[in-house]
């Protein structure tokens, strides 16, 4: 079991450490650097390697599990679950849920699209593509 390659930027203004861990594991799973089925280190093991509190890594793992990127199999450990197409299917399902909710709220398609594009700009920066 190899550890994901994670670098924590502790300079002022950088993302919170749990978010850096979450984002880097998610990206490595999406790119295939961490293949589906890859066993991740324990929370304590990764925390020790990175010099972080165990609760920080646990928070990142919980967020990754909620996003469907990793799965915990009890005592067997934590594994990469979704990458590539699986992540895109998860995002498509979330987009459909958003569209259905916007429709129930009475927004027309243009207003729903503008709200989604603004959210993408806020997260990714720059214009939505």
CA–CA gap between residue 60 and residue 35 (Å, rounded): 18
> One digit per residue, pLDDT tens: the chain, 129 residues?
567 899 999 999 999 999 999 999 999 988 889 988 999 999 999 999 999 999 999 999 999 998 889 999 889 999 998 666 666 777 888 899 999 999 999 999 999 999 999 999 998 887 655
**6, part of any domain:** no
**29, part of any domain:** yes
Domain count, the chain: 2
pTM: 0.67
For residue 60, give the CATH number of its domain. Answer: 1.10.10.10
CA–CA gap between residue 56 and residue 8 (Å, rounded): 12
What is the extent of the structural domain holding 24?
Answer: 17-80
**12, part of any domain:** no
What separation in angstroms does the CA of 110 have from each of 92, 93, 102?
A: 19, 20, 11
Q: Are residues 65 and 89 in the same domain?
A: no
The pLDDT value recorded for residue 30 is 83
Q: Please report the DSSP string for 9-43 in residue order.
A: --STTSPPHHHHHHHHHHHHHHHTSS-TTPEEPPH
Q: Residue 121 is inside which H or E element, if any? A: helix 109-124
């Amino acid at each position: 079991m190899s550890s994901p390659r994670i670098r924590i930027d502790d300079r002022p203004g950088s993302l919170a450490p749990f978010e850096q861990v979450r984002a880097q594991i998610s990206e490595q799973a999406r790119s295939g650097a961490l293949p589906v089925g890859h066993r991740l280190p324990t929370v304590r093991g990764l925390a020790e390697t990175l010099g972080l509190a165990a609760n920080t890594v646990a928070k990142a793992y919980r967020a990754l599990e909620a996003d469907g990127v990793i799965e915990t199999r009890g005592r067997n450990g934590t594994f990469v679950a979704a990458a590539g197409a699986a992540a895109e299917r998860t995002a498509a399902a979330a987009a459909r849920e958003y569209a259905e909710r916007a429709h129930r709220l009475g927004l027309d398609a243009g207003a729903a699209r503008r709200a989604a594009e603004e959210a993408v700009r806020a997260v990714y920066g720059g214009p939505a593509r």
